[in-house]
Structure 1
């Protein structure tokens, strides 16, 4: 009996030491991860395992000796230097291959690529991918129906072409005292880069005076990335919080849970894989100020699933370029033009009555 007690005491002591050591290790990992995430959130630059300081103006990819020793086709595909042979490119006006945006690195004289900048799409030559990367590429498309491999190459702070917005809309002066708005973004097992880019798009392109907060509604996600990692990431962002549901209720029911708790007069709903452009919210709030009973929706761009290109051109002819979403007798979605008589009564910058 005494021997058993002695063994038990010894095991408890060893377990206590291991537990303390494990807690210390976890604490160190949390601190390190926190510092790295804070760096990425604030736009700091990590290249070759070294922090250089200052805001990063291009996507930094991890150093890989195997890739850095390569020359010729393929190196620029993942490493981001020596653009050669159209490894990463977009389609030009004549359907020709043209390179993505280029800029100079802050700490070297090497020309580096910025995948996805100005809303450009990125096309990957999959024949140059390793078997491991090819598997990641295929799994991302299959799981999310979007090219997550490309999405992960694009900065979460990527720029959009300012010329997408009609110049006549830019000239409009909106009320300076618009009521603040809550932005609700429901998600369930969304790809990390898509979700974070959506959040940063709202933060970067919405005046903080009219943005009360962003509420991320987790509709029962099971992905590990969307648990502690997301909590930690969001803790460094202003005006962002997470609302977690115990089980999946569906997109609209999840939104309603957040709407029930909104404290602002106005709220906006966004998909978790969308990107807003500069000045997207002011026109909506202006209309709601004029008539609080309205339900308003913006004209936003599309993101091509295969290349992540942000595509939007303002309608130069409302009758030809703008359609109303309708449903036929079989409940299939259709697009129908507005009546010419109605369109002729509108100015290009006026809101259009729409069926909800």
Structure 2
């Protein structure tokens, strides 16, 4: 999902998802444009991504914000599993493996990846290897907030890929 994102950051995000996800695990990358006004995010972006058959661009008719943009992307998806990523991230190698494993173990699970952000000033990677909050997402009413992770949860987990409860 993007709105007036820098060209280099957006492409870096998409290419990291394409190159660092096993091809058989990635059906498509859907870019949702939440009504960007920058010309290079229009026809030039469409032209650039024509060479990547897994990339599809969906454009909002009017700016709707993050949740509406995510819903547009979800509606356009043809995959069994949908993962939402920001447009200024960098996926690490095989980032999707542990995420999809958790869904396989519990098909009703709603999981969130821990993905590195691209710093908007330095373009360096903002690594978050030890999160202190996790996302609380209620599918019924699309409510979202951040909850502090209790110390006992960190102590319980023997591996960083084990989900928080």
- TM-score class, shorter-chain normalisation, is 0.7 to 0.9
For the structure 1 residues 245 and 283, does the alpha-carbon distance in structure 2 shift closer, same or farther, using more than 3 Å as the test?
A: same
Q: Secondary structure at the match of 2:19?
A: helix
Return the match for 1:351 from 158, 162, 165: 162
- Name the CA shift for 1:311/1:353 in 2 (closer, same or farther; >3 Å): same
**Pairing partner for 1:269 from 78, 84, 99:** 84
- After superposition, what is the alpha-carbon deviation per residue over 1:308-345, rounded to whole angstroms, capped at 9, x for unaligned? 1113264xxxxxx441258xxxxxx88745233x4333
Take 2:120 and 2:104, find their aligned partners in 1: how far apart are those partners?
Answer: 35
Gaps of 5+ in 2: 136-144
- In structure 2, C-alpha distance between the alignment counterparts of 1:300 and 1:231, rounded to whole Å: 25
Separation of aligned partners in 1, 2:161 and 2:49 = 37
- Residue 189 of structure 1 and its aligned partner are, at CA, apart by 1.4
Rounded Cα–Cα distance in structure 2 between residues aligned with 1:353 and 1:334: 13
Alignment partner for residue 28 of structure 2, among 213, 219, 222? 213
Q: What aligned pairs does 1:207-286 form with structure 2 within 5 A after superposition? A: 207-286=22-101
The aligned counterpart of 2:14 is 199
Q: SS of the counterpart of 1:285?
A: helix
Q: What is the aligned counterpart of 1:339 among 114, 138, 151?
A: 151
When residues 310 and 264 of structure 1 are mapped into structure 2, their CA distance, relative to the original with a 3 A threshold, is same
Give the SS at the match of 2:82. Answer: strand
RMSD: 2.2
Greater relative contact order structure (CA < 8 Å, 6+ sep): 2
Unaligned 5+ runs, structure 1: 1-185, 315-320, 327-332
SS at match of 2:162: coil
For 1:202 and 1:284, locate their aligned partners in 2 and report how far apart those are by CA, in whole Å: 14
Deviation at 1:196, TM superposition (A): 0.9
Q: CA deviation at 1:261?
A: 3.1
Higher-Rg member (1/2): 1
Instruction: Tell me the distance in 1 between the aligned counterparts of 2:65 and 2:128.
Output: 32
Aligned-partner Cα distance in 2 for 1:254–1:349: 30
Query: SS of the residue aligned with 1:281?
Result: helix
Measure, in 2, the Cα distance between the counterparts of 1:283 and 1:198: 19
Change (3 A) 1:325 1:229: same
CA contact (8 A) 2:33 2:59 kept: yes
* CA–CA separation in structure 2 for the residues paired with 1:311 and 1:220: 27
Given candidates 97, 106, 109, the residue that maps to 1:294 is 109
Q: Compute the displacement of 1:236 (Å).
A: 1.0
1:287 Cα deviation after fit: 0.8
- Give aligned pairs, total: 156
Q: Partners in 1 of 2:86 and 2:128 — Cα distance?
A: 20
1:202 and 1:237 map into 2 onto residues whose CA distance is 12
Q: Distance in 1 between matches of 2:154 and 2:44?
A: 49
How far did residue 294 of structure 1 move? 0.6
